[in-house]
Structure 1
Amino acid sequence: MSHTFEPAVPVHTYERIVDQIERAILSGEIPVGAQLPSERELMVQFGVSRPTIREALRILQSMGLLESRPGTRGGPVVLAPSAKTLSRSLRALVGTDAVEVADLVEYRVILEGSACRLAAIKHDDGQLSRMSVAIDRMERDAVSNADSFADADLEFHEAIWAASGNQMLQLSGEAVAGVLLRLMQRDAAGEHHDNRVKLESARIDRGLFAAIEQRDAGEASRIARQAVANRFAPLLTAEADRRALAALAE
């Protein structure tokens, strides 16, 4: 039985340089605050031209891992990876075609279910008040102000992510939510402005808020998973993806 290979994907030389330097920084081999060698020295070490080195350094700086400081001799300075750096990377990844829509939807189900479970356990009064204000605004503006409703909807979920106490869930939620909402608006623009849809969304979120307020972690997770699955299932075309989504929502 013969094996079928996939087409080879060419890799630019500067990408290999980025990978090596990134691994060295993240592993601690090159410590925070250290300077990389000069461009000339890097050219010799990697055996490449100056434009290739500059492109690699440009990408690493855009990733927030390096910073050029005028007046210093040698190469750019290594920065500590930050939450902001991770957030930018996540937004860039999910905002392209590199991630399948089905993967994004499945991840959002897992993310919301986990975030709501943790929020039900960890929330404080201030976070609960923030959710309550957002829910009241959603119900008030569902019919009269679509933009205000959308802002309040996002505010409600951001409050939940914050109440989870998990920074990774918060960053992931912010990155994935925006992309999925844009897809939903593009593929079902009419439905997005349907008052019945907004009113139903507010009703579901009111139930979710009640579960979180009562610290019913299991019920909060269940409501969140099913709400996300039902909302974004229309974006999936493959039957296998729909079955997988339904299983995650249970």
Structure 2
Amino acid sequence: MVPTCDPAAEAVFRPVQAGNALEVTVERLMSAIRLGVVPAGARFPAERDLAARLGVSRITLREAIRLLQRQGYVESRRGRSGGTFVAELPPRPTPEEARRELSETGTALEDLLAFRRGLETGAVVRLAETGLTGAQGDLLDRRAGVASEAGAADYRRCDTVFHITLAQLTGSTRMAAALTDVRMRINQLMDVVPLSEAGLAASDGEHRRIVRAVRERDPEAARRALGEHLDGAERRLRELLG
């Protein structure tokens, strides 16, 4: 079950407020899968609870689930321990498949990377300017700690939670929502890049530097630490997909 306190879950399962309700619901469920909010083999929240959290009818939710079933992303199980479960995910995409996905969706890699960098830089600079409460600083420390203890299979989800938490602490629900959406697309591309122990260790150190700069209310150091953190991922994506 997905904890309600998970910031990624809060951002993904926020109420649907605009657009085609069915299309947006499908996108939210896909975001939950791609961000690791509901990992492979795990169960989505109960239908009644999930529909309430998304602010859609159960009929709309059921249709969204049926669409994802037909695409092989979820499966429904009956019985006392039944529900909607994330199916085993397909093999890691190849660079060619990732490039084709970008082309088919009309998305330019540089546009996506620039948008993410702008959002995340704005978040950490804003936090460094306004400062954190003791509880907020402790929360960021915990998020960074959870990521540092995660293995390769769960690291991307924990990293995503850390970054979404930064956006949420600004107090801007729009920023958190936008970052959740762009992280879903970035994570889909990052699946092409294999994780290494050295890479995970470097990322953990960068998380700590970001938190320290924000805690010390140093906007320039926060911007620099965040930039260094994003540089590596951007470089790998350009090498493979550019």
TM-score range, shorter chain: 0.5 to 0.7
Q: Distance in 2 between matches of 1:222 and 1:109?
A: 12
Task: From the superposition, tell whether residues 182 and 60 of structure 1 become closer, same or farther in structure 2 (CA, over 3 Å).
Answer: closer
How many residue pairs are counted as aligned between the two chains? 148
TM-score (norm 2): 0.54
Whether the aligned pair in 2 keeps the contact of 1:118 and 1:217 (CA below 8 Å) is yes
Give the alignment of 1:53-132 within 5 angstroms. Answer: 60-62=20-22, 97-122=105-130, 123-132=132-141
Pick one of 134, 146, 151 that aligns with 1:137.
146
| AA partner of residue 123 (structure 2) | A
Do residues 156 (structure 1) and 162 (structure 2) align? Answer: yes
Q: Which moved more, 1:202-211 or 1:126-135?
A: 126-135
**Equivalent residue for 1:234?**
236
Q: Distance in 1 between matches of 2:149 and 2:190?
A: 23
Pick one of 137, 147, 156 that aligns with 2:153.
147
| AA partner of residue 215 (structure 1) | R
Whether the aligned pair in 1 keeps the contact of 2:124 and 2:219 (CA below 8 Å) is yes
Q: Distance in 2 between matches of 1:129 and 1:63?
A: 37
Give the alignment of 1:171-190 within 5 angstroms. Answer: 171-186=177-192, 188-189=193-194
**Equivalent residue for 1:15?**
none
**CA displacement at 1:237 relative to structure 2:** 6.0
Task: From the superposition, tell whether residues 182 and 84 of structure 1 become closer, same or farther in structure 2 (CA, over 3 Å).
Answer: farther
Q: Which has the higher contact order (CA 8 A, sep 6+)?
A: 2
**CA displacement at 1:125 relative to structure 2:** 2.6
Tell me how large the CA RMSD over aligned residues is.
2.9
Task: From the superposition, tell whether residues 164 and 95 of structure 1 become closer, same or farther in structure 2 (CA, over 3 Å).
Answer: farther
**Equivalent residue for 1:212?**
214
TM-score (norm 1): 0.52
**CA displacement at 1:197 relative to structure 2:** 0.3
**Equivalent residue for 1:168?**
174
Where do 5+ consecutive residues of structure 2 fail to align?
A: 1-18, 25-53, 57-101
Where do 5+ consecutive residues of structure 1 fail to align?
A: 1-58, 65-82, 86-93, 242-250
Q: Which runs of at least 4 in structure 1 moved beyond 3 Å after TM superposition?
A: 59-64
CA-to-aligned-CA distance 1:122-164 (integer Å, 9 cap, x gap): 33333222211111222233xxx22343332122112101112
Percentage of matched positions with identical amino acids: 16
| AA partner of residue 129 (structure 2) | I
Whether the aligned pair in 2 keeps the contact of 1:119 and 1:165 (CA below 8 Å) is no
SS at match of 1:212: helix
